[in-house]
Homo-oligomer: A and B are copies of this chain.
Amino acid sequence: MNDQSDSCCGHNPNLDAVAIAKTKMCSKQTMEDIAETFKILGEPVRITILHALSIRELCVCDLAEILEMSHSAVSHQLRILRAARMVRFEKQGRKALYRLDDSHVETIMQTALAHLTNEGCVPDRREK
């Protein structure tokens, strides 16, 4: 925001280090895109939906039961996950069967779990 206000206040960044980092870093846009992805994963309800769908496909009604939440709230969150191309759905009668739309999500989740537990990886919990 204010890159000028500090230069007059006596701060001395290591210009070499700053230059090296800047040239090797990804674009600001890329960083924002990655952050957006994590922001979506950073909600208990949404990550739990993805976790459940990693085990098997489920409809809104099932997810509401599992999460102990209203159908409306679940549907709102599914909309966000759809927009992020993390889940997709298929209409079956009056139900909407949801499933994961990207295997990366599982990988990301397991790595996050590894960070938390300081372990290598996690056993596969999928059905069969």
When all copies of this chain in the complex are counted, the total is: 2
Distance from A79 Cβ to chain B, minimum over Cβ atoms (Å): 13
* Other-chain residue from B11, B24, B68, B127 in contact with A55 (beta carbon distance below 8 A): B24
Do A62 and B13 touch (CB < 8 A)? yes
**Which listed residue, B11, B61, B115, B127, touches A108 by the CB 8 Å rule?**
B115
Q: Is the CB of A38 within 8 A of B112?
A: yes
Considering the chains assembled together, what is the distance between the CA atoms of A88 and B125 in angstroms? 8
A contacts with B: majority SS = helix
Known contacts A61-B13, A65-B13, A112-B108, A47 near B35 by CB under 8 Å? yes
Please indicate the chain B residues that have their CB under 8 angstroms from the CB of A112 in the complex: 34, 37-38, 104, 108
Q: In whole angstroms, how far apart are the Cα atoms of A32 and B102 in the complex? A: 21
Contact mask for chain A residues 72-113; partner B; CB cutoff 8 A; 1 contact, 0 none: 000000000000011011000000000001111101110111
